[in-house]
Amino acid sequence: MIGGYQVQYKEKKMAQRLIHYLLGEIFSEEIELKNKKRFLLGSIMPDAYMNLKDRDKTHFANRTEETTYFDFNLFREKFDRQINEDSLYLGYYMHLVEDVFYRQFIHRDEFRITKSQKEISMLHNDYHILNSYIVSKFNCQNILQEKINLDSEKIMEIAEFRIEGFLKDFAGDFSDKTQGETVFITENMLDQFIEEYVPVMLEELRAVKKDKSILVAKDYKWKRGKK
């Protein structure tokens, strides 16, 4: 999941927050949005949980003894009206969809799970290098620098979020100048993911904007403990 790097160690098959932001930017160029800033905020918001224990809540994770999946359909059911009226919720929905497809992409390419502390540090460095790559290649600019207060909004019913602190951390991603060679998550992998999956996600986004959906969350469940 896109979020703090501590979380990325736990969920090594989820994208980083700047990838979600980049996807939001790409979608905003193809789809008319009521409010681009709120859409982009929604695109990264699921990773802005206050406590690690709330990660499953913010990602609508449905866990059984055997399987797990991110129930983006449940999110849409719960916030159907808001998705139609407020770009924040539409962006949030797309984050959940993006995580599903990113995990599928990484899993397909047999991403090797990092185990040692040294490998975890290398993965951490990959994320920093990719931050610099994303900002440079895609000319990403942070438009979420104003103070945002969502305390009175319905989306806060999901869990406790740390919006202000998260956005401060997020701003640092844009000034990350880390250079070097990626090891686990490469620039080519990111480019390939965008090329292959953006059309599929755009199709779902267009459908949801018409109050429809072409994706079923349960179709993307995975076995617990699967590497």
- From CA 211, how far away is CA 88, in angstroms rounded? 16
> How many helices (H) does the chain have, and how many strands (E)?
10, 3
State phi, psi for 42 to the nearest 5 degrees: -60, -30
Q: Which residues pair with 49 in a beta bridge?
A: 161
Is 12 within 8 Å of 99 (Cβ atoms)? no
Longest dimension (CA), the chain: 47
DSSP class of residue 59?
T
- When pLDDT is cut at 50, 70 and 90, the band that residue 161 belongs to is very high
- When pLDDT is cut at 50, 70 and 90, the band that residue 6 belongs to is very low
- From CA 56, how far away is CA 154, in angstroms rounded? 18
Quote the pLDDT of residue 172. 96
Quote the pLDDT of residue 184. 85
3-state secondary structure of 68: strand
- When pLDDT is cut at 50, 70 and 90, the band that residue 144 belongs to is very high
Handedness of CA 134, 135, 139, 145 (dihedral sign): positive
Structure-token pair, residue 58: 């913010």
Quote the pLDDT of residue 164. 95
Q: What is the pLDDT of residues 67-117, one digit of tens each?
A: 999 999 999 999 999 999 999 999 999 999 999 999 999 877 655 555 688
Quote the pLDDT of residue 106. 83
Instruction: List strand residue ranges (DSSP E) for the chain, in order.
Output: 61-63, 67-70, 222-223
